[in-house]
Chains A and B, each alone.
Chain A
Amino acid sequence: MDPMETPSNDRADERAVRQEWRHSMDRTADLKAAGDPTDPTVPAVAAEPPAPTTAADVPAAPAAAPEAPAAATSSSGHPAHVADPRDLVLAIRGLRVSFSGNEILHGVDIDAPRGGVVALVGPSGCGKTTLLRSVNRLTELAPTASITGEVQLDGSNIYDRGTDLNLLRRRVGMVFQQPNPFPMTIFDNVAFAMREQAKTRPSRSSLMPAVQDVLQRAGLWDEVKDNLDRNALSLSGGQQQRLCIARTLAANPEVILMDEPCSALDPRSTARIEELIVQLAGSLTIVIVTHNLAQAKRIGDYAAYLLNGDVIEQGLAQQVFEDPTEQSTRDFVSGMFG
C-alpha cells in the first residue's frame, strides 16, 4: 500500500467504498426480511412452501421459443427467491455459437427471472459451458468463435456495439469449475475487484469493511478472519471455491454464472456451496451448470435441459424434473435418477 496516503484520503476512500456497498447490503437485508430459509442444512427448494400464486405468475415462455412450451403449461407456484417471474434479468434469444464454422449452439432461448436460480443440465458436450461463457462474453476470447443472437441483460443486448465489456463482466460474474483463486493473499483476492475501481487507490483499512461483508456473504469469514494474509492457495478446495464466490461478489454483480462449481469438491464442501447459492439467490440471480441432477433439483428454481446445442425444455425446476413434457427430457431425468 502507498505509504504516502494521508488519513483524510483514507476516510474519503472508505466513504466511497461504503457507498458502493450499501446497495448490495440493502439487498441482503431485504432478502432476510423476506424470510430467507434459516436452516441451511435443508435444501431450500424443498423447504420453501410454494407461494400461493395464480397462473399469471408463471414465467412466460420465451416468445421466440416455440420448441420450449413447458414453462407456459406449468401451473405450480413461483419460487420464493423471485419477486416477479416476468421480470427477466437475463433473456437469451436465438443465441448461435460456432467454432471454426462448427455450430455448437443452434439458437438458444433461456429466461432467467431476477433473483432466481436457473439450473442448466444436459449431457456432456451439449454446449452448457459455451452457453454460460457467452453470457459474459468470454466465448469470444477464442479467435475461432463466432456468435449471433442476443443476450439481453436488463433489456439491453450485451452484444450491441459499444457495450462496456469490463462493466458487463462486473455485472455478470463467473465462478469456474476448478477453484481458481489468484496466487495472492485471501484479502488481495477479495480486494482485487474493488481496487483500481476507485479513482485513488483505496487503502487496506478502507477496503476492510467491504472485504469482511463479502467474505461473510460467501460464508467464509469465520474460517479466515484470523488470517486474511494467508496465501489463498493454502485453503482447501471447498474454501477456495467459496473464496472465488466472494471474489466475484466483490464486483457487486447482478448475475453470477457458475460452471459446475462443485464438481471438484467433496460432498461436505458441495453442501456448503449449495447452501450458499440458496442464500445468495434473491439478492442476485444465479445461472448454474451442473452434472448433478439431484443438485439441480435441490437448488434450482428454474431448469433448462440442453441437448446437442438446443434447449429441449425449460421452466420451473420441479416441473422439468418431475413432470417433463418432452420424451428426451424424461429419458435424461429418469436415466440419472434411476
Chain B
Amino acid sequence: MPTRLSDRGGVAAAYAAGGVLVIAVTVIMAWLVWQGISTISWDFLTTGPAPGSLEQGVAGGILPALVGTLIVIVFGMLVAIPLGLGVAIFLTEYRQPNWLAKGTDTAIDLIFGVPSVVFALFGLAIFSQGWLSWLSNPVGDAGMATAQSFFCASLMMALIGLPPVVRSSQAAILGVPNQQREASYSLGKGRLTTIRRIVVPGARPGIATGIVLGIGRIAGDTAIVWILLGGAVLQSPPDGWYLPWNLVDFLRSEGSTLTTYIYFSSPAGEGNSPGPAYGAAFVLMVVILFVNIALIRLSRRKIGKR
C-alpha cells in the first residue's frame, strides 16, 4: 500500500491516465456503433454505391470499398511481410556490412516518419512511366500510364506497411535468448537453419504484432488510395471482377477503399451522408479488430497438446 504522499499522487495520475484513455476509446466506439449499426444491413454490405450516392439516404452499399480495403491489405502485406521480416533478420542476425545495416536502419525510420502522401506522389511519377503501364493502364499513345490501380496502390501500401513489421520483428528477434541460438549451433545447425527453426518461431508473437500494425496503417491510409487508386467511390467494379481469371484485369483497374468511401459520404466530403459514413467506419473497425484478434491468436498458438 502506498503510504507517502508522492506515491499516492503517482498512483492517482496513473489511474487517471488509464481511465481517460479507456473512457475516450469507449466513447468513440460507442458513438461509431450507435451511429453506424442502424445503417448496416445485408444490402449495405453486398451492393455497390447507388447512382444517386451524392444525395443523402440513397448512397447505396460499400461492397467495392470493402473489397478494395481487403485487396490493398492482402497485396500490400504480401510484399511487406517477407520483405520486412527479411530486413529485420538482416538487421539483427547479420548487420554486415555495417554501412548497409546503418543505411537500412535510417531508411526504415524515414519511411516510418514521412507522411504517405509524399510516397503517393512519388509513386505517381514512377508508375505513370509508359514501361510500367502493365501495372495500371496505358494512356492513349503518349507512352504514359494512368498510375492508378490496385497494383500501384498495393505496392506503395507495402512501403508504409513495412516499418512496423520491421521494428516489431526486430525487437522480437532480439528477445529470443542467445542460449537458444547457441543450443542450435551446438547441435550442428547452421545460421540459416537456426534462424528458420529457432529464431523466427521464437519471435512469432512480435512478428504478428508488427503485421497487425502494418495492416492498420494500410487500412487507414487515404492519401495513397486517393492518388494511386483513384479513390473512385462512384465507380462500380468491372463486371465479373470476382472471377479468378479476371483478377489481373481487376487489379489493374481503379477502385476505392473504405477510407475514401467514408470521406466521400461524410458531410466533409461530397456525399453529405453521415449514415453510410458511420456504417463504413464501423465496418472498417470490425475488420481491423477481427484481423487483430485472429493474428494474435494464431501467433500465440500453444505448443503441443495440454
* Closest chain B residue, CB of each to CB of A173: B186
Q: Which of B146-193 contact A (CB under 8 A)?
A: 177, 179-180, 182-190, 193
B-chain residues with CB within 8 Å of residue A184 when the two chains form the complex: 303-304
At the interface, yes or no: A182 with Cβ under 8 Å from chain B?
A: yes
Enumerate 17 A-B pairs (CB-CB under 8 Å) in ascending A order. A136-B186, A167-B188, A174-B182, A174-B183, A174-B186, A176-B179, A183-B303, A185-B304, A192-B184, A192-B187, A192-B197, A193-B188, A196-B193, A227-B305, A229-B304, A229-B305, A247-B187
Distance from A285 Cβ to chain B, minimum over Cβ atoms (Å): 16
Distance from A132 Cβ to chain B, minimum over Cβ atoms (Å): 11
Whole-angstrom distance between the alpha carbons of A178 and B222 in the complex?
A: 51
A-chain residues with CB within 8 Å of residue B189 when the two chains form the complex: 166, 192-193, 196
A-chain residues with CB within 8 Å of residue B188 when the two chains form the complex: 166-170, 193, 251
A-chain residues with CB within 8 Å of residue B185 when the two chains form the complex: 138, 141, 169
Q: Report, nearest first, the 7 A-B pairs whose CB atoms are least far apart.
A: A170-B188, A174-B186, A231-B303, A185-B304, A229-B304, A193-B187, A180-B179
A169 and B305 form a contact (CB under 8 A):
no
A-chain residues with CB within 8 Å of residue B305 when the two chains form the complex: 227, 229-230
At the interface, yes or no: A110 with Cβ under 8 Å from chain B?
A: no
**Dominant secondary structure at the B interface:** helix
Whole-angstrom distance between the alpha carbons of A184 and B188 in the complex?
A: 18
B182 and A176 form a contact (CB under 8 A):
yes
Whole-angstrom distance between the alpha carbons of A289 and B47 in the complex?
A: 72
A182 and B198 form a contact (CB under 8 A):
yes
Whole-angstrom distance between the alpha carbons of A326 and B65 in the complex?
A: 84
Residues of A within 8 A of B (CB): 136, 138, 141, 165-170, 173-174, 176, 178, 180, 182-186, 192-193, 196, 227, 229-233, 244, 247-248, 250-251
Given known A-B contacts A180-B179, A180-B180, A138 and B186 have beta carbons under 8 A apart: yes
Given known A-B contacts A173-B187, A192-B197, A193-B187, A185 and B303 have beta carbons under 8 A apart: yes
Number of A-B residue pairs, CB cutoff 8 Å, is 71
B-chain residues with CB within 8 Å of residue A170 when the two chains form the complex: 187-188
A248 and B303 form a contact (CB under 8 A):
no
B-chain residues with CB within 8 Å of residue A176 when the two chains form the complex: 179, 182-183
Distance from A133 Cβ to chain B, minimum over Cβ atoms (Å): 9
B183 and A182 form a contact (CB under 8 A):
yes
In-complex Cβ contact of B187 among A141, A169, A231 (8 A): A169
* Closest chain A residue, CB of each to CB of B188: A170
Distance from B210 Cβ to chain A, minimum over Cβ atoms (Å): 19
Given known A-B contacts A182-B198, A185-B304, A231-B304, A138 and B182 have beta carbons under 8 A apart: yes
Known: A174-B186, A182-B198. 8 other contacts (CB 8 A): A166-B189, A169-B186, A169-B187, A173-B186, A182-B180, A192-B189, A247-B183, A251-B187
* Closest chain A residue, CB of each to CB of B187: A193
A-chain residues with CB within 8 Å of residue B198 when the two chains form the complex: 182
Distance from B280 Cβ to chain A, minimum over Cβ atoms (Å): 41
* Closest chain B residue, CB of each to CB of A256: B186
At the interface, yes or no: B202 with Cβ under 8 Å from chain A?
A: yes
Distance from B168 Cβ to chain A, minimum over Cβ atoms (Å): 19
B177 and A180 form a contact (CB under 8 A):
yes
Distance from B198 Cβ to chain A, minimum over Cβ atoms (Å): 6
Given known A-B contacts A183-B303, A229-B304, A231-B304, A248 and B187 have beta carbons under 8 A apart: yes
Distance from B98 Cβ to chain A, minimum over Cβ atoms (Å): 11
Distance from B301 Cβ to chain A, minimum over Cβ atoms (Å): 11
A-chain residues with CB within 8 Å of residue B184 when the two chains form the complex: 182, 192
* Closest chain A residue, CB of each to CB of B196: A196
B-chain residues with CB within 8 Å of residue A178 when the two chains form the complex: 179
Distance from B96 Cβ to chain A, minimum over Cβ atoms (Å): 10
B-chain residues with CB within 8 Å of residue A141 when the two chains form the complex: 182, 185
